[in-house]
Amino acid sequence: MDFETIRNMVQRVMNETAVVDVHTHLYSESFGPLLLWGVDELLTYHYLVAEFFRYRPDFSYEAFWNMSKTRQAEVIWDELFVKNSPISEATRGVVTVLNSLGLDTKKRDLNKLREYFAEVPVNQYIDKVFELAKVKTVVMTNDPFDRKEQEVWNKGLHKDKRFMASLRLDGLLNEFDKNIAVIKAQGFDVSSNIDKNTKEAVKYFLRTWIEKIRPVYMAVSLPPDFRMDNELVRTKLIADCVLPTALEYSLPFAMMIGVKRSINPALSVAGDGAGKADVDVVVGLCRDYPENKFMVTMLSRENQHELCVTARKFRNLTLFGCWWFLNNPSIIREITAERIELLGLTTIPQHSDARVLDQLIYKWSHSRKVIKEVLTEKYFDLVQSGWILNEADIRRDLNRLLGGQGID
């Protein structure tokens, strides 16, 4: 079996394999305005906002944020797509989306593009995006402290099974003192003193939300200096509340480690940065809580090899995706090859992290291409070593890699 035959086989199977996208910031239609979609949302995505200011250092931050979203989209379109070639990964992604939808980008007429999105019903558009992206289901990021989300869950309005839930714990673990009043308002008697009563109340809070939204995992984003220090509130809550409850419900605890919040506050949500984390904290958790399941992704490229080696040693650890600033083809290729070489098929190569529905199209189109290239090389090496490979093998492997292992 030669290289070209294997590549064609992998491409065919890749194009036919539906994805379980294990981490997004998307919502089903029942969440109303929380579901972001359309060309203006694509253009005002924070990746493009940050890039806009690279081209326009003369442009006032305050003037930009005082603009309507419509006007923000127009200045970004003009700067990044008309005056300059959209060659970055984020801008190329917009081009991929528009062309996948069959829209004409040659004239670079934003108002003409807007006409399509103004006319298509949201429910039909969701179906179309899932079809074009070849995505079966996505996992939402669900915040129990968000009042708009609370209304939907409390009324039982969410029905679309393509959108699975995850219970996001940033507000609990990273800002507990700030959210004490919010937790108490929901009927849970907590205090700043993390005593036995507060711990029991937090566990009751977690159980209540798990029963309400049926998440496939609990998750938190964490800074590069995250550590398990017994004197810290976050450590006590993780060790005595989150992990016991996760074990009780057989839920993975997903940690996304390495984000530095608001290193440039003037950029608002576009102002976060990245830093190298300490992998030893993951080692400690996996070793000290062997019955718990952990999912981990790290934001720094420099963490990836050590993290792979750690996953080789702990069967309760699943690595997932190329998160945020790592979601670039050159880095995805490197990390995917490294993980497959060290972990075989026991990893989740990618998640979209999509905040705008349309991004599912480009993020999976671009990622599939890179993952296909890596797999083709690995399968060719395998065949060259004397292994007999067939299409059924490849189909089985891809169903595992793209099918959301670790959350089933």
| pLDDT of 212 | 97
Q: What is the largest CA-CA distance in the chain?
A: 66
State the angle between helix axes of 147-155 and 196-213 in degrees (0 to 180), rounded to the nearest 10: 60
> DSSP string of 233-294?
HHHHHIIIIIHHHHHHTT--EEEEE-EETTSSGGGGGG--EE----THHHHHHHHH-TTS-E
Question: Please, what is the Cα angle at 303 between 300 and 309, to 5 degrees?
Answer: 150
**Identity at 369, one-letter amino acid code:** K
State the angle between helix axes of 359-384 and 89-100 in degrees (0 to 180), rounded to the nearest 10: 100
* Residue linked to tokens 């809070």: 205
Question: Please, what is the Cα angle at 80 between 116 and 353, to 5 degrees?
Answer: 70
At 389 the three-state DSSP class reads coil
Would you state the torsion angle of the CA atoms of residues 140, 121, 146, 170, taken in this order, to the nearest 10 degrees?
Answer: 30
Burial readout 322-348 (b: 16 or more C-beta within 10 A, e: otherwise): bbbbbbbeebbbbbbbbbbebbeebbb
Q: Which domains does the chain have, with CATH numbers?
A: 167-319 (3.20.20.140)
| pLDDT of 408 | 65
Sign of CA pseudo-dihedral 113, 115, 120, 126: positive
Q: Beta partners for 207?
A: none
* Residue linked to tokens 């450590």: 235
Cα separation, 72 vs 66, in Å, equals 9
| pLDDT of 368 | 97
Convert the pLDDT of each residue in 252-277 to its tens digit.
Answer: 999 999 999 999 999 999 999 999 99
Would you state the torsion angle of the CA atoms of residues 120, 66, 221, 302, taken in this order, to the nearest 10 degrees?
Answer: 100
Tokens of 394: 């490849």
| pLDDT of 407 | 81
> What contacts 373, CB < 8 A, 6 or more positions away?
333
Kindly report the pTM of this predicted structure.
0.96
Parts of the chain with a pLDDT under 70:
408
| pLDDT of 282 | 98
Convert the pLDDT of each residue in 72-91 to its tens digit.
Answer: 999 999 999 999 999 999 99
| pLDDT of 235 | 97
Cα separation, 219 vs 25, in Å, equals 12
State the angle between helix axes of 122-133 and 359-384 in degrees (0 to 180), rounded to the nearest 10: 10
Convert the pLDDT of each residue in 365-394 to its tens digit.
Answer: 999 999 999 999 999 999 999 999 999 999
Between the two ends of the chain, the Cα-to-Cα distance in Å is 34
State the alpha helices, DSSP H only, in 69-194.
69-77, 89-100, 110-119, 122-133, 147-155, 170-173, 176-185
Q: Beta partners for 221?
A: 256
At 163 the three-state DSSP class reads strand
| pLDDT of 406 | 81
